[in-house]
Each structure stands twice: as structure tokens, then as C-alpha cells.
Amino acid sequence: MSDPDGADRLEDPSAIEAADPGGMLRQVASSAAQIREARRLAVEAGAARLAEEGRPRAVVVAGMGGSGISGDVLAAVCGTGCPVPVVTVRGYRLPGWVGAADLVIAVSCSGGTEETLAVAAEAARRGCRLMFVGGAGSPLADLAERTRALFVPVRSVGQPRATLWGLTVPLLVAARELGLADVPDALLEATAGRLEDVAHRCRPASEPFVNPAKRAALDLMGDVPLVWGTSPLAGTAAYRLCCQLNENAKYPGVYGELPEADHNQVMVFDGYFARPPADPGDFFRDRAEEAEHGIHLVLLRDVDEHPQVRKRREVSAELAAARGVPVTELAAEGVHPLERIATLIALADYVTVYLAIALGVDPTPVPAIQDLKARIVE
């Protein structure tokens, strides 16, 4: 159930600060600075050397959680026209086809993620081209030294999930050097500027009626979000939003992508969690049941949508509304894929932090994850 004080909490900047003792909002607001610093670190580390061996057969990004999403963002920015596949591996093993012709990029904010270390070591044994991105002085940094892998250090801003751009920009710089993505320095700076603009609009002092993230958070309270992207790029942002719902707000979320979601998830509009309009002539209907929360459709709209997907988005929203399912839309900004995915992710991050605060949940700690890790090593 939603917290009746949630709306009041988001009205008061001092209450927001008190409810966010770990400073997650400040971490999210550091995204623009992360882009600038990570670009410099990647260049200083020698990312240009990757081009000396020519274009790889494939790029495989190994990472978990907030580090793993960097591979998905890379694939989204490279796009469907990328001349080589970009694959993200989340787990302990490399696919059998990966070999010496491929570039394996291991990403771990801490530099100590056991799954990522296992994949990085396996890639080294197979003779793959290697690039590692992670914490300085970490086990991943040590492995890079032993295997002569290119290593780009990352300065964490707090939580790995909030250090997304510090982890992702080195991958974008690498893709640029390999001729896989058009991401000049001017674009990176323009994207940083857009993130600063989103941060200004979503700042704690901005009132909910003009703050898009606060407004969306209040709309979602108590509902289970179905988060649908309207392109592969927006689908990646939808996945990120659901992960951030889980970690920041400790809240469920189901992600999907059009057109696929219209072949399965759309049917929940007719199911148990939907809220069909009541028959006004039915005086015996359960009014308490009508007030129950249900599903909520969140559409992440891309600037570049297939014409048929645009129709599907519009009709899906109409079907949801006709069945009593609320609809919230968040739109990408900019023209380049990097700008578009960055603005969607920024909005998603702010929405989930404000939802946590509205619900009275501390957005920073992840005790269940820590408990799970402790039990695994026992």
C-alpha cells in the first residue's frame, strides 16, 4: 500500500534530504560529470590502441547489475547497423563461440564481481582481445596487469548502479576507436549537457507539478508498472527502469518492448490486476475493491520509432485507458542514440529514487543483495 505521507514528503526538499541519507539523488545528479571524467580516463588509458589490431569479430561485454547494463547501452548506441555483434554476458561463462578474434570487455565497478572475474579470466585463457573497466587497485586491475589487458580505472560515485556513465563511456570511446559508433567528444559533451538539464528539472526543490520525475513517481505509487520501450534503445531504458525500481525503491516492475509486448503482456489488461470501468448501474459492486491498486502502463517513447510501432504504442495506450489501466509516458530527448538513451535513463533514475522517498524507503542500501552474498560465501 502507498504511504499517505508520500506526496507531502516530495513537496519538502528538507524531507527529501532526510529520507535519502545515502545521497542517491546526488549520485544520480553526477551523471554529466561522470561522462566528462570517464572520457578523459579512457583516453589516458590508451583506448586508441584497440584499433591497432583492427576491428574485432564481435564485442562481448561481461558484467553484472549496474555494470552489466553498460553493455546494453553500448549495443543500443551502436544500433542495428553496427557491423559486428555487441553481446552482454551476465554470468560465469563465456559463450562457446567467443575466441581470439573477439574483444571481451569486463566491467565491474568494484573490480571484484566474482562472475565478471571468472569470465575475464576465461577470456584471457582463450586468447581473446581484452579490455577491463573497474576500480583501481582491484582484483580486476590485477588481472589486467597479469594478462596485459587494457585497463580503464573507474571512480565510483557511491553505488555501482549510480556510476553507469563512468562505466559506459569507456566502452563508447572504445567503440569509437574501432569504428563501431559515431561518438565524438562534442557528442559526449552535448549528452552531458542534456543530463545537466534533466537534473535541473528533476532537482529536489522543484515542485511535483513541474518536476516530471516526482510527478511520475506519485502516479506509480501502489501500482505495478509495466514498462514498455518503443524501440530497442528504449527497451534497454525500460529494463534499466525496472532494475532501478528493484534496487532504489525495493519495488517490482515488468519490462517489455514493442512490438513484442503486444503479443503477450498486453493481455494483462484483461486480467486480475486490471481495473475495468465499473458498471454505473451496479449498485452492489464492491467499492472498496474498485480502489485497489493494479497495473500501470509506462511507455518509454523513443524519437525514432518504426511507423507500425508508433501505431501500436498509440493503440496500446488507448486499450489500457479503456480498461482502467493508468498510462504514463516518458519521452526521449535529442537526436543521436546516446542523447536519447541518456535522457530516458536519467528520467528513470530520478523517478525510482523519488518513488523510494515517497514510500519511505531508503534508496541507497541493498540489504537483501548483501545478505545473499554473505550466505553464498559461508
At residue 288, the pLDDT reads 40
At residue 282, the pLDDT reads 53
The mean pLDDT value for 110-131 works out to 98
Average pLDDT score over the chain: 94
* Residue 277 pLDDT class (50, 70, 90 cuts): low
**Alpha-carbon distance 183 to 336, whole Å?**
9
Closest CA to 234 of 71, 355, 345, 351: 345
C-alpha cell at 256: 517489455
The mean pLDDT value for 265-284 works out to 74
The mean pLDDT value for 256-269 works out to 98
**pLDDT tens profile 195-235:** 999 999 999 999 999 999 999 999 999 999 999 999 999 99
Answer left, alpha or beta for residue 2, where phi above 0 means left and psi between -120 and 50 means alpha: beta
Residue 281 has pLDDT above 70, yes or no: no
* Residue 184 pLDDT class (50, 70, 90 cuts): very high
At residue 377, the pLDDT reads 81
> Are 41 and 153 contacting, i.e. CB atoms less than 8 angstroms apart?
yes
Radius of gyration of the chain (CA): 21
At residue 279, the pLDDT reads 55
The mean pLDDT value for 245-268 works out to 98
Poorest-confidence range of 5-9, 143-147, 302-306?
5-9
> Which strand ranges, in their side-by-side order, compose the sheet holding 103-108?
86-89, 59-62, 103-108, 129-135, 150-154
At residue 2, the pLDDT reads 46
Helix (H) / strand (E) element for 254: namely strand 254-257
Residue 291 has pLDDT above 60, yes or no: no
**pLDDT tens profile 13-38:** 999 999 999 999 999 999 999 999 99
**Alpha-carbon distance 142 to 52, whole Å?**
24
Higher model confidence: residue 273 or residue 79?
Answer: 79
* Residue 1 pLDDT class (50, 70, 90 cuts): very low
Per residue, what are the HEC states of 194-227? Answer: HHHHHHHHCCCCCCCCCCHHHHHHHHHCCCEEEE
At residue 6, the pLDDT reads 80
Residue 307 has pLDDT above 70, yes or no: yes
